[in-house]
Amino acid sequence: MSRKAKPNSARKRRIQQRVIERDRVCHWCSAPADPPTMDHIIPASQGGNFSVANLVLACWSCNQARADRPYHYYRRYACNSITG
């Protein structure tokens, strides 16, 4: 096999469903994640895989804002930005 296998989309959907059922709301800001997006704890660009253990549920804006920042860095940023 010279080509990289494409991610199995049915498997991806199942993983995504489990993360949604586990987290329910955005991991960062606790807002309803609508539309729900998957945020990698270890970014895919740094070798993180698409698995329930490496994913958290995030709202779209948190996912975009975090991009590839390290988990604990963005965690602090998100908490500081919530002023009530």
> Cα separations (Å) of 29 from 12, 37, 58, 68?
24, 13, 8, 17
> Does the protein bind Zn ion through residue 26 (CB under 5 A)?
yes
Q: Does 28 bind Zn ion (CB under 5 A)?
A: yes
Residue 56 CB-half CA count within 13 A: 16
Rounded CA-CA distance 54/31 in Å is: 20
Q: How far is the CB of 59 from Zn ion (least distance, A)?
A: 4
Q: Indicate the residue among 15 and 58 with the shorter CB distance to Zn ion.
A: 58
3-state secondary structure at position 11: helix
Q: Compute the least distance from the CB of residue 8 to Zn ion, in Å.
A: 28
- List 29, 38, 42, 65, residue binding Zn ion (CB under 5 A): 29
Q: Which residues in 3-22 contact Zn ion (CB under 5 A)?
A: none
Q: Which amino acid is at 9?
A: S
State the residues that interact with Zn ion by CB under 5 A.
26, 28-29, 31, 59, 62
